[in-house]
Amino acid sequence: MGELNLILLGPPGAGKGTQAQRLVDDFDLPYYATGDILREAVKNGSELGREAKSYMDQGDLVPDEVICGAIMERVDSPEAADGFLLDGFPRTIGQAETLEQALGRRGRRLSAALLIEAPDEDVVRRLSGRRICVANQHLYHVEFDPPKREGVCDDDGSELIQRDDDKPETVRKRLDVYRKQTEPLAEHYEELGLLRRFDGTRPPAEVHEHIRAAVKTLKLEDEL
């Protein structure tokens, strides 16, 4: 059975987290989120973690080679021998090329880049409607999953707040950054024949079915 090396792309609020968990369950893949990997490397004080921290402490961006090195440590682990799911890396063409070269040196290659698309207005509506309780971080949505009493957590009675990251103006800034970085990345993977597009405005279960079918097809093609 061939490897299943996948990248998950999409704007914040498109449902990547939900779909990532389902893909992990469907295909028994390890899931690597770049932010988590870097934070863990820094916390563990590994050589790469110390190097990443030196850049972060100075307020500089962590170089692509350092981020990719931290990710490749995971990719080289036994749990990723049959494949992996990456989220949050690559974010730019430069990072994509660094990743492709690192995989190539190991005789490995990407299977597909899965892009979950959603219009900006949908993303703003989804994210700006989120509320979180101050006591235990329970999540609500003013439209899709409202509390019984406005502004009060059903579970512990604490206040519900809107995180700064979820304020409409912040979400729009995040989307601007995403569009600048990711549209060229989508074109890059399209040119390589690796891009698969999915409509993130559909219900999560429907998006999941479409992604699962596409990935199953990839596995079948690889085995033929």
| Active-site residue set | 16, 91, 130, 163, 174
29 within 8 A of 85, measured Cβ to Cβ:
yes
184 within 8 A of 93, measured Cβ to Cβ:
yes
Sequential DSSP letters for the chain? ---EEEEEE--TTSSHHHHHHHHHHHHT--EEEHHHHHHHHHHHT-HHHHHHHHHHHTTPPPPHHHHHHHHHHHHTSGGGTTEEEEES---SHHHHHHHHHHHHHTT----EEEEEE--HHHHHHHHHTEEEETTT--EEETTTB--SBTTB-TTT-PBEE--GGGSHHHHHHHHHHHHHHHHHHHHHHHHTT-EEEEETTS-HHHHHHHHHHHHHHHHHHHH-
